[in-house]
Amino acid sequence: MFGMERLQAIRESLYKNGSVEVVNLSKMLSVSEMTIRRDLDKLEKEGLIVKTYGGAILKKDKTEENSLDDKNEKNKLHLKIAKMASQLIEDNEVVFIGGGSILYELLDYLKEKKGLVVVTNNINIAMKIMSYKTVKVIITAGEIDPATGDIFGYETIHSLDNILIEKAFVSVDGIDSELGYTTNTKEYLELYEVIKKISNRVVLVAEHKQYGKRGLKRIAQLDEIKEIVADKNIPDMFKEYYFNNDIKLYASMVDNNGL
């Protein structure tokens, strides 16, 4: 079971029971207790749970119905951004698509592309692309993070040798006015440096909630990435910065019925 599927299974258990225990989840999902704790960390950041000793409980101010509504609204936002990003991809291109929930949704809009080649370092994205049988996929070598499906390591970097990419679609953990674009992992920083060198264009895909956050390591200054796909709710100061520095901002403005 991959990371996204496992997180959904934990959510369903929380909605059903109101609480979960690390030991039980570890046995049920056949993964280590450390992996479950990392999953619970992600759900805590989403605001879904309160972690307890040995497990977690569903946040009291979020009923199952409200949680599902919030999730649906987030999914709709991600779909709008993903659709906007897909419009930058042409037939017969070689594109890199990194990990992240929005970039995963982007794949739904690639089924009808002709002659497309997708390069990725994420096993979840590779598996979904393979199911289409219409888009060629190249997956990097390396060690898989079971929590996210991301593939990193020495082999990952060198498996990108001699690949020329037209557009690279990447995500980040935080976007800060002073630090720029940031990540929480050293491995992603190393991967980004290679992607930047072998790609004609780098496109950052992010929602407004990433703005104002800081990751642990900077991957780029704000003026280094020249194309941004986001939603209309990003802070005005960033919109102004992009405009003044000739950075293209593709902001989804349509309502949910326009998906």
Whichever domain contains 166, its CATH number is: 3.40.50.1360
Residue 193's nearest CA partner among 208, 207, 183, 206 is: 183
Residue 211 lies in a domain: yes
Q: What is the mean pLDDT of residues 232-252?
A: 93
Same domain, 209 and 98: yes
Same domain, 45 and 103: no
Count structural domains, the chain. Answer: 2
DSSP 110-153: -TT-SS-EEEESBHHHHHHHHHHSSSEEEE--SEE-TTT-BEES
| The two structure tokens encoding residue 87 | 């419009």
Residue 69 lies in a domain: no
Residue 258's nearest CA partner among 93, 11, 81, 89 is: 81
Same domain, 123 and 172: yes
Same domain, 57 and 78: no
Predicted pLDDT of residue 16 = 79
Count of CB atoms situated within 10 Å of the CB of 67:
19
Same domain, 58 and 108: no
Same domain, 211 and 245: yes
Same domain, 113 and 188: yes
Band of residue 238 on the pLDDT scale cut at 50, 70, 90:
very high
Residue 41 sits in a domain whose CATH number is 1.10.10.10
Same domain, 30 and 94: no
Same domain, 175 and 145: yes
42: which DSSP letter? H
Give Cα separations from 249 to 110, 134, 226 (angstroms): 21, 30, 8
Q: How far apart are CA 93 and CA 12, in angstroms?
A: 38
Cut 0.75: pTM above it:
no
Domain extent for 213? 74-258
| The two structure tokens encoding residue 59 | 């946040």
Look-up: residue for tokens 């407004």? 208
Look-up: residue for tokens 């039980």? 24
- Among 14, 41, 62, identify where a domain stops: 62
Q: How far apart are CA 81 and CA 100, in angstroms?
A: 12
Same domain, 191 and 137: yes
Cα-Cα-Cα-Cα dihedral of 50, 51, 52, 53, to 10°? 180
- Which tens digits make up the pLDDT trace of 120-143? 999 999 999 988 888 999 999 999
- Which tens digits make up the pLDDT trace of 205-226? 999 999 999 889 999 999 999 9
